[in-house]
Structure 1
Amino acid sequence: MRNLVSATAFALLSLMSLEGAARPADSADLIIYNARIWTVDARKPTVEALAIRGDRIMSTGSKHDMLALKDEHTKLLDLQGQFVMPSFNDGHTHFENAVDWLFQVRLIDLDGEAGKQEMMRRLADVRARVPAGIWITGGDWGDLAAGAASKAGRKDFQTFQPDLAAVDAITPDNPVLLRRFDRAYFANSKALKLAHISRESPDPRGGSYGRDSRGELTGMLYGKAGEAVEKLMPPVTLEQKVIGARAVQQDLNRLGITSIADIARLDELSQQQLYPTYVERSYSNLAIFQRLKARQQLSLRVYAFLPLDYWDRLGKYGIRPHGGDDMIRFGALKAFGDAGIMYQPLHIDLGLQNDWAWRMMGEKLLKQRIVDSCKGGFDVGVHIIGDKALHSLLDWFEAAEADPACARRAPRERLIHAWYATADDLKRAGRLHLIADVTPDHLMQNVSRLEAALGPERARTAFAWRTMIDHGVRVDLVSDLPGTYNRAILSTVNPLHNMYMAVTRKPIDGSAGPAFHPEQAMTIEEAIQAYTINPAYASHEEAIKGSITPGKLADLVVLSNDIVTADPERLLTTEVVYTFLGGKVVYQSSSDETSKRADTPSPAH
């Protein structure tokens, strides 16, 4: 999460743009050459050079032709054979959740002495990225081990206790409050001081302070003692969210990502609602992106998926289908479907409830809102997992398509996740020209047990990416950043690693045996499309990004290996060398030899 952005370089590249405005129209600001450029444009799939003017691709072709576009102000980047492609577009993220995690220590999987040591390592990592004075939180250490002990019939489970002095040494300037699996808490001395808890403090009613044999505080807080300290924590302000957002987007840039489709909310509207449950807990506050943009600090293009719940009131706030600009754009709505509704329950429990999600608005209402919002010009994406639930959703999309007002505009509706489907419904999804946002991690979570859980017939159409593509479903590869809400499972955000899983049907750590139904794998070319032109199409932006085509935005990634011709295993060792957003470098590898050349553009934000 290190800040790799140079203010000086930003001024330099800004000056380049200003100089370009007064220069001849046929001169380039930047020429990239001696490269293997994969354009994702079928009309000209590969070129060896490209020229950029302003924030757009000016021209592509041979080294000779592109260098003919230079003048005394043109920057040159000789890539010496490195691989260039459009930068990555992650089509399904929960950005604010990732921002929140930036200030938290992942603890749920920790137990025992090894877990205690790992807690210290992770705490040190979080401290390195969190400014002084901001609270560091985390939970629930020992939880997974406690669950395993409970299933085994053990009633005597205990987990480790953090060492107060060791934690204080790592976090002298940050208050820390960590939660244990049983809702006991641990606070460092900075947090205890802010709460005015000392050796002399009496235990509160309904709780107690942990003490050692000498009566000194250990940092442990039991019962209402822990609850009281938690209530003292300041609310996370929008300004703190912006601090975290800058770090998260820099990390995405480091992975070659310059565009996301984020599950977002308009907070002004959300605050007017009365909800039965915390239905918007994974929707990012749109104001985070808007504030970054206003400060010229936004280095991601954001396609905002707003809640379907209040789609008909968005126009009052100036939000309309295909509105916005190149940095923040609108046009899609998000709803939640099922928690794994299956025609036949799984043979092995994989944690699915076989029910509608608790955020589901009701079948009749969801069907009607899909039709109405489609007539209003919006696209809809629905979280859907089980084969029976997916069948119902296809019925609702068909109902929308049957409405003349909706059919005239050719909507780009999405199946989000789409784990299990029948063969007939995969064909139907293709006839409806649907888009599927698929997450390879979701397959890998239970890959060794999935065949037994589904049975051989249903397994053939589980995570059936090849069949989807063959039937005409346009597939996006997405991360679902940052992972499960309880932090038990972290998303694989690196697009190269997700592409590896898509083309091999194997996990990146090599832990599984044979590939899960390898006949359902994508080709590497399809995987690249699923991270570039496909999500651009899904957001109605294929005319401005998703391929290296003259006139489109100069959003590029330079990779250390040619991922098209190399063995899939090379995807796991390929590194991002440069990431360009609108012709400006937003990430540059510190190890890249070309960065030492005097004529190489420096990172800018």
Structure 2
Amino acid sequence: MALRSLVLFAALALVGCSSSPTADLVLTNGTVATLDDDHEQVEALAAADDTLLAVGSADAIDAYVGGDTRVIDLQGRLAVPGFIEGHGHYMGMGQAQMQLDLLGTSSWGRVVAKVDSSADETASGAWVEGRGWHQEKWTSTPERMVRGFPTNARLNEAAPDTPVYLTHASGHAAIANDAALEAAGIGPNTPDPEGGTIVRDAQERVTGVLLETAAGLVQEALDASRSGMSAADRRARRERQVRLAAEEALANGVTSFQDQGASFETIRLYREMAERGALDIRMYAMVAQGEVTPETQERLAEIRTVGAADQHLTVRAIGEVTVDGALGSRSAWMLEPYDDAPNDTGINVTPMERVREIAEIGLDEDYQIAVHAIGDRANRETLDLYASLFEAADGRGAERRWRVEHAQHLHPDDISRFADLGVMASMQAIHACSDAPYNYQRLGAQRVDQGAYLWNTLWADGAVVGNGTDVPVEKIDPLASLHCTATRQVPGTDTTFTPDETLTRRRALQSYTINNARMAFEEDVKGTLTPGKLADVTVLSENILTGPPERLREATVDYTIVGGEVAYANE
């Protein structure tokens, strides 16, 4: 907890109720869901500086109002602890605001049309970039498909001379037109890189689809195309990404963000912006796996920090270490073949020997480890590795709070190992609903029913379960993810997906607040509306804890408050 918060809280304890300090901000006349068992649900709260002073009845909190206090009449609205995005890609979210948004496109034709329009407006030599297409969510199937993906033929027609690079919604695949493939040096004889696949048709022709690390070949060419930018222009572009990401997060009630995989350069940018008060939200930055080597180990020790810039920056984790891919691209690493691809068990993206090296460095430097594991084999291999390292070290797995990111598909034999090892399940409920239409097709009923997105089972077993959106894979919309957590309703239908795995609404909210705080060692300063903790609050138009479940989708974020200051207002 920040020093000034401790001093203020101690002062409150001394003066008692007879001499209430003056608040900078008061929220009153609503429902305040504190998620703190000692207070639970009240009508109002007061904050001074960056800290919660008190929670209680409207009459009791009125004693904290002074001449300069900003008073917000909630008018019956719901105030909850600020949402903590438990798994996202911050710079990717900012980048998504600067390129074609393909999330929700209903067909390959709609994707091509967007590219066609953008290519007409693109300056000579520039690339067309986009993200968010997903072939399993189209209402019609393209005429030509290879391994379940479209080919780039129509992209070549729409933009014959402009390089086009479109990232799959999952982030684990991409499609590029021939101009982009040529810029990347990908041709008929280019071998698959380790941990990736260049998809080819029956005649061994490159289709433009790139899985896992193969997409990095085109990304490198795209990055090289910007090499002529000045250092000042590159810096301005990166700061713009940070600002755009913050605006999007705050508009959705997110006050803290757990960033999965930041480079040393990005972490330096976060620190500089945080120190001058320009980061806007609280950042838990994980060091990207590519930065972690024996040669950089000293640097990890140098940048490790907790609660810098008034609790705006913490660096004490490495993640997400990518063991496998995604279900949509059939690159999730499975113990048995896919039902709809009998010769395919997915991809081990990062060899387990390399994952072990990263994890051992994390042990040496007291860094939390967060491993991306979606398939049941990826989860088993990760848990096996964690178990062996904990045993070889000191056995204190629970204290280290190592995480599995996604933990989507588990073999029944591995479910209890999360709680037994003290491994946290950093999951994203929205994936369960958005992926539901093709889960049974990929894995069959038995594997899905026994091991898919086991929110309730893991929780009941004693594991800590977090929540998030994996933005920009999905929109950074906590309310949509909470709706899926509590209903498992498949979007656009009246059907539910493995409904026994739903959580109560209170538990759903806990998964997005106090549980995510625990995942970042921050439960003492955030996650509940407890006096003495940071005054991070999200105000919703509807009481999502009562009434019909549709409220979880229909509610809007009316205020986002970070450290007692209104950072976003829906006015």
* 1:99 is aligned to 2:94: yes
1:46 positional shift: 0.4
Quote the residue 1:450 is aligned against: 439
CA contact (8 A) 2:145 2:151 kept: no
AA aligned to 2:348 is W
Sort the Cα spacing of 1:112 and 1:505 in 2 relative to 1 into closer, same or farther, 3 A.
closer
Quote the residue 1:68 is aligned against: 63
Which secondary structure state, in structure 2, belongs to the residue aligned with residue 392 of structure 1? Answer: helix
Q: How far apart, in 2, do the equivalents of 1:156 and 1:355 lie?
A: 23
Which structure would you say has the larger Rg?
A: 1
Quote the residue 1:346 is aligned against: 338
Between 1:109-118 and 1:579-588, the stretch displaced more is 109-118
* 1:516 is aligned to 2:497: yes
Q: Among 506, 515, 532, which residue is 1:534 paired with? A: 515
Quote the residue 1:337 is aligned against: 323
Sort the Cα spacing of 1:100 and 1:113 in 2 relative to 1 into closer, same or farther, 3 A.
closer
Quote the residue 2:24 is aligned against: 29
1:245 positional shift: 1.7
Quote the residue 1:596 is aligned against: none
Q: How far apart, in 1, do the equivalents of 2:433 and 2:495 lie?
A: 12
AA aligned to 1:347 is D
Aligned ranges 1:105-184 → 2 under 5 Å: 105-106=100-101, 137-138=128-129, 148-151=142-145, 158=154, 182-184=177-179
AA aligned to 2:470 is D
Q: How far apart, in 2, do the equivalents of 1:355 and 1:432 lie?
A: 26
Q: How far apart, in 1, do the equivalents of 2:226 and 2:369 lie?
A: 38
Question: Structure 2: 5+ residue runs without aligned partners?
Answer: 1-14, 167-175, 181-220, 326-331
1:45 positional shift: 0.9
Q: How far apart, in 2, do the equivalents of 1:251 and 1:569 lie?
A: 23
Aligned ranges 1:175-214 → 2 under 5 Å: 182-184=177-179
Quote the residue 1:383 is aligned against: 372
Between 1:71-80 and 1:516-525, the stretch displaced more is 71-80
Sort the Cα spacing of 1:456 and 1:141 in 2 relative to 1 into closer, same or farther, 3 A.
closer
AA aligned to 2:279 is L
Q: How far apart, in 1, do the equivalents of 2:146 and 2:443 lie?
A: 25
Q: How far apart, in 1, do the equivalents of 2:343 and 2:91 lie?
A: 25
Q: How far apart, in 2, do the equivalents of 1:31 and 1:134 lie?
A: 53
Q: How far apart, in 1, do the equivalents of 2:261 and 2:288 lie?
A: 7
Quote the residue 1:320 is aligned against: 304
Q: How far apart, in 2, do the equivalents of 1:139 and 1:351 lie?
A: 31
Quote the residue 2:45 is aligned against: 50
TM-score (norm 2): 0.75
Identity rate of aligned residues, in percent? 24
* 1:397 is aligned to 2:386: yes
Q: Among 262, 282, 288, which residue is 1:265 paired with? A: 262
Between 1:372-381 and 1:540-549, the stretch displaced more is 372-381
* 1:480 is aligned to 2:470: yes
Which secondary structure state, in structure 1, belongs to the residue aligned with residue 80 of structure 2? Answer: strand
CA contact (8 A) 2:466 2:511 kept: yes
Tell me the alpha carbon deviations over residues 327-359 of structure 1, each in whole angstroms, 9 at most, x when there is no partner. 0002111212123222211212499752311xx
Sort the Cα spacing of 1:80 and 1:121 in 2 relative to 1 into closer, same or farther, 3 A.
farther
TM-score (norm 1): 0.71
1:465 positional shift: 0.9
Q: How far apart, in 2, do the equivalents of 1:531 and 1:135 lie?
A: 39
Which secondary structure state, in structure 1, belongs to the residue aligned with residue 359 of structure 2? Answer: helix
Which secondary structure state, in structure 1, belongs to the residue aligned with residue 446 of structure 2? Answer: helix
Q: Among 411, 423, 431, which residue is 2:412 paired with? A: 423
CA contact (8 A) 2:469 2:476 kept: yes
Q: How far apart, in 1, do the equivalents of 2:132 and 2:53 lie?
A: 53
AA aligned to 2:460 is D
Tell me the alpha carbon deviations over residues 542-599 of structure 1, each in whole angstroms, 9 at most, x when there is no partner. 0001110000000001100000002111111100111000000010011xxxxxxxxx
Q: How far apart, in 1, do the equivalents of 2:141 and 2:365 lie?
A: 47
Between 1:437-446 and 1:538-547, the stretch displaced more is 437-446
Q: How far apart, in 2, do the equivalents of 1:119 and 1:110 lie?
A: 14
Q: CA RMSD in A?
A: 3.9
AA aligned to 2:476 is V
Q: How far apart, in 2, do the equivalents of 1:543 and 1:313 lie?
A: 29
Quote the residue 1:563 is aligned against: 544
Quote the residue 2:204 is aligned against: none
AA aligned to 2:478 is P
Sort the Cα spacing of 1:399 and 1:589 in 2 relative to 1 into closer, same or farther, 3 A.
same
Sort the Cα spacing of 1:77 and 1:237 in 2 relative to 1 into closer, same or farther, 3 A.
same
Quote the residue 1:465 is aligned against: 455
Which secondary structure state, in structure 1, belongs to the residue aligned with residue 64 of structure 2? Answer: coil
CA contact (8 A) 2:155 2:164 kept: no
Q: How far apart, in 2, do the equivalents of 1:142 and 1:63 lie?
A: 48
Q: How far apart, in 2, do the equivalents of 1:247 and 1:321 lie?
A: 25
Q: How far apart, in 1, do the equivalents of 2:379 and 2:459 lie?
A: 17
Q: How far apart, in 2, do the equivalents of 1:532 and 1:157 lie?
A: 46
CA contact (8 A) 2:485 2:503 kept: yes
AA aligned to 2:322 is F
1:300 positional shift: 1.1
Q: How far apart, in 2, do the equivalents of 1:263 and 1:142 lie?
A: 21
AA aligned to 1:502 is T
Quote the residue 1:291 is aligned against: 272
Quote the residue 2:401 is aligned against: 412
Between 1:304-313 and 1:465-474, the stretch displaced more is 304-313
Quote the residue 2:484 is aligned against: 501
1:519 positional shift: 0.3
CA contact (8 A) 1:37 1:48 kept: yes
Sort the Cα spacing of 1:134 and 1:298 in 2 relative to 1 into closer, same or farther, 3 A.
farther
Which secondary structure state, in structure 1, belongs to the residue aligned with residue 356 of structure 2? Answer: helix
CA contact (8 A) 2:96 2:130 kept: no
CA contact (8 A) 1:90 1:535 kept: yes
Quote the residue 1:4 is aligned against: none
Which secondary structure state, in structure 2, belongs to the residue aligned with residue 52 of structure 1? Answer: strand
Sort the Cα spacing of 1:179 and 1:301 in 2 relative to 1 into closer, same or farther, 3 A.
closer
Q: How far apart, in 1, do the equivalents of 2:397 and 2:466 lie?
A: 24
Which secondary structure state, in structure 1, belongs to the residue aligned with residue 144 of structure 2? Answer: helix
* 1:255 is aligned to 2:283: no
CA contact (8 A) 2:300 2:365 kept: no
Q: How far apart, in 1, do the equivalents of 2:467 and 2:239 lie?
A: 27
Query: Number of matched residues?
Result: 483
Q: How far apart, in 2, do the equivalents of 1:442 and 1:408 lie?
A: 27
AA aligned to 1:428 is R
Q: How far apart, in 2, do the equivalents of 1:92 and 1:51 lie?
A: 30
